[in-house]
Structures are given as C-alpha cells and as structure tokens.
C-alpha cells in the first residue's frame, strides 16, 4: 500500500520530467515566496530539493494584500530542445507565465507573460513539427509560440472530462506510441478527487475517453491516503511507467482532518490494451519489490536539513516567506549568525506579516528556535493562513501563547522569562483519544529554561489548523515572525518525532 508520500508536507500538484537518468519535479507554492520548489531524483522515490524556479521579485509579483491560497498554481515542467520549460499561473498577479533554464537548479529566466492564454493549470507539449500546444483547465487548448507571448489562434475546447464529473483540470498531454493521451484531474481537490484519461490520433483531438475512467481515485474507500488526483506520468529509463500525484493523509475521527496539506505520492503504471492501469484497479495500492523506486526509501523522508544556524548570506531554499522577502525586513547580514526579522507593524493576522518558515512534513514533529526579543516582539508560529494559526510570542521578560481560530484570538497562556534570549518550542503530537471526536493531532507550545528543562504552556487541538476547518489549498508552515520592532533568531531546528 502506498501510505507514505515521496514529498511529504505541502507539496501539491506535482509535475515531473526525465532527462537521461535524472528526474526533475516541480510543485505549487501559492502565496509563498520564493515560488515553485524544484527537486531532483535518480529513482523517483528519494528526492533532493535543488531550489525554486521563481526566486527573484522580478519573476514573482504577489501583492501584499493578496489572499491566502492565491499566488502560484500548478506548474508544468518539461524538457525540450535542450532546455527546461516551466509554465505556471500566478492567479494573484501576472496570470500565465513561462520561464526557462538550461540547468533546473537555476538561474531561471525572466518570465514571458502569456497574456493570450486564459485558464489555470497550463501544460506544454510539442508535436513532431515543432508546434507547441498549451492546454489549460476546462479543458481548452491553444497553439502558442513559447519563446514569445504570441498565441497562434483562439482557444479550442477539446474535452469536458468523464460523464458526471466536475471541475476538469490539471491537463497533461503526451505522445505515447500511436496516440496522444490527455490526462486530467476531476472532482475537485477534495474527497471526490480523481484522475481520468482520454486519447486521440492528433494532439488537438477529438479525444476518446478511457472506458474504465477514472484511472486513479480513492473516493469511497477507507485508504489512508485520500483526495488523490492532479497527476503526471513519466517513463523510467528501464521502460517502466510511473504516476506522481497529490493526496492527503487525514487523521483523527470523523470526518478526518488533514493538516500537512496536499502531498506528492508515487504509484506504478501498467499499460493494458492501450490504457494506463494505476496500481491495482485504479487505486494506488500494491506491494513494491526491490526493483521498484519504493524499495530502499524510508517511510518518512527528511527532505531538508533539520538545523539551520543562519550562518550563510542567503537563506536555504526550503525557507519560505509570505508574498515577498524584502532584505530590509528579513536578513542574515545585520547580525552575523542570526536571522533578523523587522516588522512592518503588522502581526500574523495580516497578509503582510514578516514571517519565514518551513513546511511541516511529518505528522509528529518538534520545532525549536532561540529568539532574542530585546528590541521587539516576535515568536514561533504554526500557521495555515491569517485566520488559523497558533503561536508562542516573546517580549523582554515574558512569553504568550496565542490561538487564532477564525474571529477568535485569545491569549491562552503567559509565562515570565529571565532576561536575554529564550528557546521557543512547538510540537505536534498524538491527540488524546476521544472516539469519533478525536482530532488529527495536539499542538503543544512552550519554552525551554536555561537548564534545558521544558515548560509546556498550552496543548491545543490541531483540527483548527486543518484544511477541513480553514479551507484553502496549502498546508501547515512552521516558522519565525516579527510582530513589533526587531527580533533576532540564532538558530532553528525542525525534526520528526517518533515513527
């Protein structure tokens, strides 16, 4: 059974391509900067973060008042004619844009804005004569010149998806054997999510749907991974085929709450009578042998370094900020060996808060940081959006635990601290059993005394930081923020706890 993601945490909408022995993958990033995380693998199972495609303000313009779950939607990553091509939608700014690179680790070009292409989830495919087809959710298709912003003719509706399904999106077009295959997601990115496919003798259709659609779904099942959809296909060097797709891992009682966001999973694909069969009968199930990418990997991969001393001039690529990251407000250069955050005069409840964090990637985790609040007020927070976050906030001589749940924003606990820096700590742990009312996890917040003893100040129900409560398309991010003045952080550690 495929119960563990290959990219844990908030890494949705995977798009993958292979060049020789190397696989490269891109994901959505929504309101976070830098945008479009990029990964490399040699086996499809063990991935290394290599950067972000949109890592300059000139590439990614996100207004400071743009809503959560806006921003960057659903990239497609392809390799063609010796270059990497990445097309994506910025729903909060420039619309559809295209960047290229000779090295997927960057640098990536300044974007070409495709002002004539309308629709999210854009895909790129080239036919034998060099024509470039751009297919978007709906499902509609354009002919474009990818080196310019020119659209070569009007959009054409090419498929409306499987009968009775809603929200056809995430199209990917492939030339495999004698056919052009159109892979899409349907059902909305919730419990009804699914993947369907159709084929044609030409890239523009007409398309014949697979008689066994959907080819992947977990709806109506008790699988531990739900909401499966938004997929991409890739052929390995040995000729085998694989599907990367998103899914979630709900926890707790009914109806189940997922807190890490939509994660990336992997399943084998067999071709039967010209159609793909994913796992077993359209479910991402099955045993994996020593010859498959799953065999040698740990169940909970650690994608990123667990500890950062902030000794480098620039932040590592796994650190993400909200909408922008001005060096005047977020820098490691003001106080060597420390991350300095300088407020704009707003807190976690505002879209322009100064916040830098990393994705929560494990159901049970521990995050610790050493803060010097002598010049201001700030802290450590786990957030889903501006209206759903828990934080432990330090000022000189005191810490407070705050819980923002929709319109409610109480101070849950206060505690005195000795002069000087203080270690803040957030853990996500197994909840206390409450039958059907059990939440997905418990979020505990506290401090560590100078002698190393831990003082827990609050234990909060994790369901209020879940997508089922908050809505949206992202997942939890845990990080540091400034609420008043200037605060400094000496180090930050994130680690999984337990199995």
State whether residue 172 is helix, strand or coil. strand
For residue 136, what are its two tokens? 């978007």
Looking at 120-278, which runs of residues are DSSP E strands? 123-126, 132-136, 140-144, 156-157, 169-176, 179-186, 194-200, 208-209, 216-217, 226-235, 241-248, 263-272, 275-278
Q: Is 86 exposed, middle or buried (0-12, 13-18, 19+ CB in 10 A)?
A: buried
Query: Kindly report the CA angle at 50 between 5 and 493, in degrees rounded to 5?
Result: 70
CA end-to-end span of the chain: 17
Q: What is the DSSP letter of 351?
A: T
DSSP string, 65-85: TPPTT-SEEEEEEEEETTEEE
Pairing mode, strands 275-278 and 263-272: antiparallel
Tokens of 453: 């003893």
Question: How would DSSP label each residue in 116-142?
Answer: T--SSS-EEEE-TT--EEEEETTTEEE
Tell which residue, 96, 56, 53, 90, has the closest CA to residue 73. Answer: 90
Q: Which phi and psi (to 5°) does residue 491 adopt?
A: -160, 165
The maximal CA–CA distance of the chain, rounded, in angstroms, is: 73
Q: Are strands 442-448 and 339-342 parallel, antiparallel or unpaired?
A: unpaired
CA dihedral 285, 227, 282, 241 (to 10 degrees): -70
The answer to whether the bond into 255 is cis (omega within 30° of 0) is: yes
Q: Which residues contact 367 (CB under 8 A, 6 or more apart)?
A: 380, 382, 425, 426, 427, 478, 492, 493, 494
How far from 189 is each of 88, 168, 356, CA to CA, in Å?
18, 11, 27
Residue 470, φ and ψ in degrees, nearest 5: -85, -25
Q: So which residues are the catalytic ones? A: 13, 169
How far apart are the C-alpha atoms of 251 and 258, rounded to whole Å?
6
Residues 6+ apart with CB under 8 A from 146: 85, 87, 98, 112, 124, 132, 134
Burial 412-442 (b: 16+ CB within 10 A, else e): bbeeebeeebbbbbbbbbebeeeeeebbbbb
Rounded CA separation 109/55 (Å): 10
């Amino acid at each position: 059974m495929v119960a563990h993601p290959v990219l844990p945490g908030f890494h949705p909408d995977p798009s993958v391509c292979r060049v020789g022995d190397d696989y490269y993958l891109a994901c959505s990033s929504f309101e976070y900067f830098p945008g479009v995380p990029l990964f490399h693998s040699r086996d499809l199972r063990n991935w290394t973060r290599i950067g972000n495609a949109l890592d300059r303000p000139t590439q990614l313009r996100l207004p400071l008042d743009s809503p959560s779950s806006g921003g960057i939607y659903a990239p497609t990553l392809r390799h063609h004619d010796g270059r990497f091509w990445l097309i994506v939608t910025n729903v909060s700014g420039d619309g559809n844009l295209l960047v290229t690179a000779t090295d997927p680790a960057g640098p990536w070009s300044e974007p070409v804005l495709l002002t004539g292409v309308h629709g999210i989830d854009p895909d790129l495919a080239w036919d034998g004569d060099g024509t470039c087809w751009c297919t978007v959710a709906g499902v509609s298709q354009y002919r474009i010149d990818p080196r310019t912003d020119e659209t070569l003719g009007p959009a054409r509706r090419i498929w409306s998806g499987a009968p009775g399904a809603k929200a056809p999106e995430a199209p990917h077009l492939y030339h495999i054997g004698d056919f052009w295959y159109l892979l899409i997601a349907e059902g909305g990115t919730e419990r009804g999510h699914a993947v369907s496919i159709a084929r044609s003798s030409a890239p523009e259709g007409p398309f014949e749907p697979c008689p066994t659609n959907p080819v992947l779904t977990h709806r109506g099942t008790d699988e531990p991974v739900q909401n499966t959809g938004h997929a991409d296909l890739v052929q390995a060097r040995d000729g085998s085929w694989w599907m990367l797709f998103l899914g979630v891992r709900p926890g707790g009682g009914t109806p189940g709450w997922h807190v890490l966001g939509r994660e990336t999973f992997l399943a084998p694909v067999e071709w039967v009578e010209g159609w793909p069969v994913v796992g077993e009968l359209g479910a991402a199930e099955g045993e994996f042998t020593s010859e498959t990418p799953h065999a040698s990997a740990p169940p909970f991969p650690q994608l990123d370094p667990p500890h950062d001393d902030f000794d480098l001039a620039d932040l590592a690529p796994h650190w993400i900020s909200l909408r922008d990251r001005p060096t005047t407000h977020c820098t490691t250069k003001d106080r060597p060996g420390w991350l300095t955050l300088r407020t704009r005069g707003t807190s976690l409840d505002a879209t322009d808060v100064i916040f830098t964090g990393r994705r929560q990637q494990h159901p049970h985790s521990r995050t610790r940081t050493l803060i010097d609040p002598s010049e201001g007020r700030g802290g450590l927070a786990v957030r889903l959006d501006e209206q759903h976050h828990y934080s432990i906030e330090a000022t000189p001589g005191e810490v407070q635990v705050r819980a923002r749940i929709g319109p409610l924003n109480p101070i849950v606990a206060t505690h005195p601290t000795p002069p000087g820096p203080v270690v803040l700590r957030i853990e996500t742990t197994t909840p206390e059993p409450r039958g059907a009312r059990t939440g997905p996890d418990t979020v505990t917040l506290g401090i560590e005394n100078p002698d190393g003893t831990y003082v827990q100040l609050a234990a909060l129900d994790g369901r209020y930081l879940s997508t089922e409560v908050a809505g949206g398309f992202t997942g939890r991010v845990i990080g540091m923020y400034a609420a008043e003045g200037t605060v400094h952080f000496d180090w930050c550690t994130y680690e999984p706890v337990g199995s």
